[in-house]
Structures are given as C-alpha cells and as structure tokens.
Structure 1
Amino acid sequence: MEMSAIPDRVETLPAPDRCAGCDAALGDTSDVGHRRAQVTELPRVRPETVECRLPVRRCGCGHQTSAVAPPGVQAGQACYGPNVKTMVALIAEIGHTSMERTALLMKLMFGLSVSTGFVAKVDAQLGDRLAPFEEQVKERLRKAEIAGTDETPVSLAGSTAYIYGMHDGKVVWYGAGATRGHETIKGFGLLTGFTGILVRDDYVGYYFLDSLLAGVQICLAHIVRDLRRQVENDPVRNAWAGRLRSLLQEAIHTANQAVRDGNEQLNPQVIADIRARYLELAHEGIRFNPQHAGRPKNKARVLAERLVDRVDKALLFLSDLRVGATNNGSERILRRAKTQMKISGCWRSMGGLRAFCRVHTYLVTAANHGIDAFTALRDAFLGTSWTLPQTTA
C-alpha cells in the first residue's frame, strides 16, 4: 500500500542512544534526519452509554412539556442507538451471516452482547421502514423503457421458494414468492404494469406478459449454451448449431461495436442479412433432425423449432441498440441471494425472505447511486431513508 502524504497523526519515537554497528554512544549532535513508517489501524471500538436528560417544564395552565428525544432514542427507556442497529444490519445483510453469527460478531468486535432476538427485531424493523422505498422502486421500474428480469430458487424452511429480480441498470428490485408461476408474478404488481422492452430468459411463466410489452429480448447467452450442447451431442448432424452459435456471437459483436462507435442504429441491410442467415440455419436444424411417427422430437429439433418461432425476440437487440443481447445483468443481481444461501443455508420464514428482498432492494439501488451501505442503513434507522432522485439518468 502507498504512504499517505497527510497522515492523521504523527508520532516521533525516541532516538537510538547506541550505534547498532559499533555500540558507540549517540547524542543529539548525531541526528541526521528520520525514516518514515506508516500504519493504518482501527481504534478498538467500545460501546458508549449516553444518558439523555430531557428537561421538563410546567406551564401556568398546568401542562408539562418535555424536550424531544434525539432521533433513534426512546424517552423513558434504555435502547440501542442507530449506529448499533446499523452495524447489526451491515453484518447480517452485507456479510450474509445468520442471526447467531451476527450476534457473536457484535460481541467480538464491539463488546456488545446482543441477542438473536434483537438481530431479528432489527431486520424486521428495517424491512418495515423500507416499505415506502420499495413502492418507489416499483413505480420507477414500471415506467422504465428497458428492464431485465430473472428468478432463482431458494431454500425456505425445508421447501423451495423463489427470489425474483428486476432492474433497469441502476434501480434494482427483489421480491419473494412461494411459486414460480403467473399468480406470483401478478401478485408483485410490477411486471404486469410494465410496458417497455423486457430482457428475460425464455421461461414460459413470462409469456403471458408479452402482449403488454413494447418488445422482448430473450437471453442469447442461454441460446448459445443450448446450441453448444447440441454440437457436443452430435457434431455432424448438428453442425448447423455450431454455425448458428457463431452467427449469434458475431451479431452481438456487431451491435456492441456499433454502440462503441457511437452509432444509434445498424444498417437495415446488416440486420436483414443476419436474420436471413439465422433462419436458414435454424431451418437446417429442423431438416437434419426429422420427426419420426410415434416418437417424440429430439432436443435438437425442439431447439431449432423454438429458434424459428423466437426469431424476433432473439434479434430485437439489433434493431434497438439500447437493448442488451443477454440477461446477464439480471443474473448478476441475483447473486446476493445465492451468496446468502451458500453462507446461511436457508430462510426460516417467508416474512424473513421478503424482508431480505426489501432490504437488498434498498442497498443495491443506493449503491448504484453512490450511497454507501452504512450511510443508507443509518439513515433508514433514523427515519430518513434515502430515496430515489427524480431522474436516474
């Protein structure tokens, strides 16, 4: 690490009084300067108990008026302050630790013996306070021109639940549901109110939304992987899949290069040529994998037919360069859920899972706007949660 030009504090140590070479005595006249050494250290943090005495005055009418307690302090009782709650939330949410480990770390780092019940209470309180923020995020995403969505299974008290994610690049929302179906998606009241371009995978559960949307871009990363598998299964019969895979990769490169060059759109003839080659190769896949009477279609034919049917959704990114060709952004925002699973194992209740989603909606969106987690969480506990700016541009 580099030395700081302006250290916070300078300490001058006692000068040596004997020569390390010959053991001769050294005095002040031997001074020739000093060497520098810097250490960046944390002070040992210990909790401080502050008693707030709130003056009370009696009016001539007989009514007594007390001074108002500062934010985060409750008159007439002892409580933990907003900084303590913020550290609990940071450890639990950013560290993805269990309630037991969160309580243990509070003891080890700060000497505070908080209970797991207190940790759970902090989590629930934070979730409740962020309800208005979640609604603000939903309203912003409903109005987005382009957004991505995805979902991932998680473990909930021995069963399977799902965390959904939606984002526009800066504003991120998470939601939890017991199933992976229409009713869950409708229950969020988010995607059903979205009318822009949706980037997603080709999961059938989203199909019912298509008629509401300005357009759909299905994730080409999934399609490229599917094509690779077919080539690996039968390199000769499915050579078409290898060529189509290369075509899609070239198309993505073409669109990305156009964006880097500052172009607002591709030449229509370029788009037409890519589309024609795409359909030619997909139809070749159908021909090389004929359907036999009384037997189910093989996977290669099913894929080829799907690609013909989805051509407009696969190539939308070519006609609108604002749209990404993959849904990688949506997959990235769900990594927090997977990290939580790896470290803590599961959620114990749907309420806890939904609180996790709401808190991380807040933390991720705040971070995308340059707000650090400590500041965002402390503001929430003080009752002044960070809110979205009027524009996210």
Structure 2
Amino acid sequence: MTLCQHTPHLGGTSHLHSRNSTNSSTPPSKDGDPGRTPPQKERRAKPSGRAKGKQKGAPGAALRWREEDELDDRRDRYPEGACGCGADLARASDLGVVDRYQQHEIPLVSVSVVQYDQHAVACGCGRVHTAARPEGAGSGRIEYGPNLRGYAVYLLVVHFVPVHRVVEILTSLTGTAPSAGFVHSLLRRAARALAACDFAIRTLISLAFAVCADETPLKVGPATPAEGKKEAKGYLHVVCTDLYTHFLLGDRSTKTFRQTVLADLEPGAVAVHDRYQAYDSTQLGDLDHQLCLAHVLRDLAGAAELYPDDTWPIQLADELRELIHRANQARTRAETCLPERIKSLGVRGLRAAVRIGLAATTPIDDHRPGARKTRLLLEAFRDREDDFLRFTADLRIPPTSNQAERDLRPAKIQENISGRLTDLGRAKDRYLIRGVLSTVVKHAANPLIVLRDAFTGTTWLPPAARA
C-alpha cells in the first residue's frame, strides 16, 4: 500500500493516513513495510514509583530447598588425595557434614534399543497364548518408540521447528537419526491418534454459552492459484474459549463457516467476532453476537487520524474503554452484569459521539481514503448497539475476540518460519494437533505426556467446563 496524501477539505487541513497495527487489523509485522506510516509512539505514563523487577508479594520461581523425602538421590562426598604431611586422606577421621548442596539436573539423553521377545505358552487345556507387544508398538519388526515420536511432533507443532531441524535436534540429543520422511509422517499418525480428543473439544465448545471466533489467511497447498482465484491461499478458522481451542482449515466462504463449530452452537449462544459478514449468516443458526471491541478501537484510532480536528472518535473510544474497564471490575466482584447506572452513563456518551460522527461524515467521501469504513462503523453503532454492548448485560461474554487472535497467532509464526505448507492434508493434521495441544495447555496439562500417551493408544480427553 502506498502512502496517500489527502487533498484539503472544508474545516480541515491536508493529512497523511496509512493503515498500521494501531489503527486497523494489520499485523505489527507489516508496520515496517514500504509506504506505511509507523504507529505513533505511545505517551509514557507517569512513573508509578514501583521498583523494577519482581514486586513485593508476587509469587517467585526460584529453586527451593528439598527435604529428605523429596530427594531422588543423596551422595556423601569426602576429601580425596593426600594431606600436606603426606598422609592419605582416605584414612582421616570423619568429622561429619559441614556443607550441603543440592543440584537440579537432567540426565544426558541417549537412545536405548530394547528387544522385546514375545513368548508363547501352551496351557494344559491345549490353548496357546502369546504375549502382547509393549504399548505403542506397531506391526513392524523395528521402529522408534512413543517418547521419541512425541518429542518430534511437539517440536514440529508447538515450536514450529522445520522437519530437517527436528532431525538435527533429535540426532544431537539422542544419538539416533530418524529420516525426514519419518518425522513428517508423524503428523498424520498423531492426528489420527488425537482425532477422538479433537471431536470431544468440538463438542464441548458447541455447548459453551460464549465463544470467540476469528480467521486468518495462510499460505497452504499448491503455490499456483486455483481457477478463478487471485491468490493461492487458504484460511485458518478458530472457534475457542478460555478452555478449548478448535481449528478448521478451509477458505473464507460461507460453506467453510458452516463447517466450523459456530454452526453447532445452541440457539442463543454468543459468538464474539469482528464484523466480517459471514459471521452474521443465518446459515450459522440463531446466534447472538458480540462485536469485537479490540477491532473497533483500532478502527477508531484510524478515524482519529482521518478526522484530526474532530473529538468524536476519541470520545467514542474512551467510552468503550471505560465500559470494558468497569465490566472487568464488576467481574472481579463476582457480579453477573454491569450496574445499570454505570452502563447508562456510558451508553449516553456513546450515542452522543455516534450522532456527532454521523453528522460530521458522509456516506461517500472520495477525498479521504478510509472514510467509507469509518462511516460504516458509525452506522453499525447506530443500528447494532446491542451487538456492541452485549458484554455489559452478561459478564460471561468477553468484549473482545482477543482469545481467538492469541490462538491464531502461532499459525502466523509458523508461516514466517517455514513459509508455505504445500501438503494440504498434513497442514490440516498439524492444526488438529495444534488445537488439541492448545486445549491441553489451557487445562495446565503436559502436552508431551499427552502426545506420548496418544502414541500408546491412550487418548487424553478434556474435562467439561463448570457451569
């Protein structure tokens, strides 16, 4: 996008305006692109008087001294060698312990090869019984075990390590050298092992009262655009809560939206999202909506740059921030909704700002790139006030879809590291696994253990959320 200079207009001056991460949904990684105006530096807050670093009373993370029954091993150490007089210290008198030291260490990892000989036994009745293979064993004569497989998938999916580097890491740490093809094939094997967990997560999200939803473009599949398409890309969709995450890889069509968990939500459930039109489709069912106020605040930052002499964009943003702040305070007090007195004050200020903004703008403004978007936002405030303020009536509803954006962010990191995911099938497997492991982390479980258990045939299932 090139930098555009606006022509003078009545009641204003010439003005430079460019989209960046503070006034639009453009990611921060694009702020430095040619032609973009960098975000304005935020004003520094007044010094709070607090010292830097850990605050008094905050929980620490330092190592603690372990008691006798918590130790894994205990070793006595004695002086070695000879005394200055020439006597051997091994024959010296023991005066007891004068110093104690505890060290937290991990053992050096080295692959161990174990051969399992399955014996057959004959019962006195004539029946023959053969020992079962160990957990996680396949049908072949030789293979890598579930621990190594779990580590490989963990590096691939959680830490975005490319396949060839996973091979290098495993070789350096364990002394074994799996092939790149084997490591890549683990994505499919892990996805199959976690399919039941993925289905359970989708079911639990469908029972939620409020969910966050978002989507982001990804470079997946062949690099050549399909017929009728300008770009060769797909869209990664997420529907999530603070406990569950479910991904779906597709496009931005209504058909794909119907395949997301949104179509499974109970009537009256609330979807928190940006104002993309597909979320309002009646084909997704009878849903209520909470329009993401983080997106709105970014749009209002752009409006403030677009209309520098007007105060209504700032007033509108301040009123929204105050309502969000008040809702957070009420939530900490275990209240179920925002007190009516506080809400009415905020709504009155919002409506006044919207009226002023509508009077100061026109449906068509060819002299201001971005003016149409601002006008549509104001009209949405006028026509869909309940959808902007639904979080004030029920504090279970988040005012932003930030949870969805946080769950999607690793996909963009993956793309920046590895580029295009050319194998569409493995990309779907990757995000099925990612959704499961995101849910695992939200439940404070260990993703490595979940992966290892999945390869041995034990599927982790998330608990249902408490009402």
Normalised TM-score (structure 2): 0.76
Offset of residue 75 of structure 1: 5.4
Partner of 2:273: 200
* Aligned residue identity for 1:339: I
Q: Do the aligned partners of 2:216 and 2:237 also contact (CA within 8 Å) in 1? A: yes
1:341 is paired with a residue of what secondary structure? helix
Matched, 1:169 2:211: no
Q: Which amino acid aligns with 1:191?
A: L
Contact 2:290 2:390 in 1 (8 A): yes
1:375 aligned residue: 449
Q: CA separation of 1:283/1:210 partners in 2, compared to 1, >3 Å: closer, same or farther?
A: farther
Moved more, 298-307 or 225-234: 298-307
After superposition, give the CA deviation of every residue in 1:336-368 in whole Å (9 maximum; x if it has no partner): 212222322231211111101111121111222
Is 1:184–2:256 an aligned residue pair? Answer: yes
User: What is the letter of the counterpart of residue 5 of structure 1?
Assistant: R
Provide the rounded CA distance (Å) in 1 between the counterparts of 2:254 and 2:319.
34
Deviating more after overlay: 378-387 vs 205-214: 205-214
Q: CA deviation at 1:154?
A: 1.5
Residue 269 of structure 1: CA displacement? 4.2
2-side partners of 1:114 and 1:16: how far apart?
A: 44
Q: Is the Cα–Cα contact under 8 Å of residues 238 and 247 in structure 2 kept in the other structure?
A: yes
- Residues in 1 aligned to 2:422 and 2:316: alpha-carbon distance in whole angstroms: 45
- Are the counterparts in 1 of residues 212 and 272 from structure 2 also a CA contact under 8 Å? yes
Q: Which residue of 1 aligns with 2:46?
A: none
> Could you tell me how far 1:371 is from its partner in structure 2?
1.7
1:198 maps to a residue whose letter is: A
Q: Which amino acid in the other structure matches residue 321 of structure 1?
A: L
1:93 alignment partner in structure 2: 157
Question: Comparing 301-310 with 371-380, which one deviates more in the overlay?
Answer: 301-310
8 Å contact from structure 2 (residues 209, 270) kept in 1: yes
Q: 1:285 aligns with which of 353, 357, 360?
A: 357
| Cα drift, residue 376 of structure 1 | 0.5
Pair 1:364-2:364 in alignment: no
CA contact (8 A) 1:55 1:67 kept: yes
CA contact (8 A) 2:213 2:271 kept: yes
Which residue of the partner structure matches residue 205 of structure 2? 141
Once the two structures are superposed, residues 153-202 of structure 1 have per-residue CA deviations (whole angstroms, 9 ceiling, x without a partner) of 1121433211111112201111111x1121111134x2112131111111
Q: Which amino acid aligns with 1:219?
A: C
The alpha-carbon deviation at position 32 of structure 1 amounts to: 8.1
Q: Is 1:69–1:75's contact at 8 Å kept on the other side of the alignment?
A: no
Report the equivalent of 1:250: 322
Q: How does 1:1-393 map to 2 (within 5 A)?
A: 1-2=62-63, 4-6=65-67, 7-15=71-79, 28=92, 33-57=97-121, 64-74=128-138, 77-157=141-221, 158=223, 159-177=232-250, 179-188=251-260, 190-195=261-266, 196-209=269-282, 212-236=285-309, 238-291=310-363, 298-392=372-466
**C-alpha distance 76-274 of structure 1, shift in aligned 2 (>3 A):** closer
Per-residue deviation, 1:384: 1.1
Larger mean CA deviation between 267-276 and 198-207 belongs to 267-276
Give the secondary-structure state (helix, strand or coil) at the position aligned to 2:104: coil
101 and 293 in structure 1: CA distance in 2 versus 1, 3 angstrom threshold: closer
8 Å CA contact retained: 2:137, 2:456: no
Structure 1 window deviating more from structure 2 (112-121 vs 61-70): it is 61-70
Give me the whole-angstrom Cα distance separating, in 2, the residues matched to 1:291 and 1:171.
41
Segment drifting more, 1-10 vs 245-254:
1-10
Could you list the runs of 5+ residues in structure 1 that have no partner in the other structure?
none
Q: Is the 8 A contact 2:213 2:404 kept in 1?
A: yes
The answer on whether the counterparts of 1:152 and 1:163 sit within 8 Å (CA) in structure 2 is: yes
Q: What is the aligned residue count? A: 387
Distance 1:44 1:211 in 2: 53
Deviation, 1:391, is 4.5
Distance 1:294 1:36, change over 3 A: closer
CA contact (8 A) 1:376 1:386 kept: yes
Question: Is the Cα contact below 8 Å between 1:289 and 1:298 reproduced in 2?
Answer: no
Post-superposition offset of 1:115: 0.5
Query: Residues 59-89 of structure 1: CA distance to partner in whole angstroms, max 9, x if unpaired?
Result: 7998754222122124561122211211211
Give a deviation string over 1:113-153, Cα, whole Å, max 9, x none. 10011112211111112222222222111111111111111
Q: Which deviates more from structure 2 when the two are superposed, residues 243-252 or residues 136-145?
A: 136-145
What letter is aligned with 2:191? G
Are the equivalent residues in 1 in contact too, given 2:262–2:284 (CA < 8 A)?
Answer: no
SS state of the match for residue 154, structure 2? helix
> CA distance change for structure 1 residues 117 and 63 in 2, over 3 Å: closer, same or farther?
farther
**Structure 2 unaligned regions, length at least 5:** 1-61, 224-231
Do the aligned residues in 1 keep the contact of 2:239 with 2:247 (CA within 8 Å)? yes
Whether the 8 Å contact between 1:47 and 1:110 is mirrored in structure 2 is yes
TM-score, normalised relative to structure 1: 0.89
Q: What SS is found at the alignment partner of 2:208?
A: coil
- Answer with 342-351 or 376-385: which moved more: 342-351
Amino acid of the structure 1 residue aligned with 2:397: V
Distance in structure 2 (CA, Å) of the matches to 1:240 and 1:176:
40
User: Identity across aligned pairs (percent)?
Assistant: 26
Mapped contact 1:192–1:209 kept (Cα < 8 A): no
* Cα pair distance change 1:76/1:376, threshold 3 Å: closer
AA matched with 1:308: R
Task: Return the structure number with greater helix share.
Answer: 1
Moved more, 328-337 or 128-137: 128-137
Aligned residue identity for 2:323? A
Instruction: Give the conservation status (yes or no) of the 8 Å contact 1:191–1:209.
Output: no
Query: Relative to 1, partners in 2 of residues 1:268 and 1:118: Cα closer, same or farther, differing over 3 Å?
Result: same
Query: Would you say the 8 A contact 2:364–2:372 is kept in 1?
Result: no
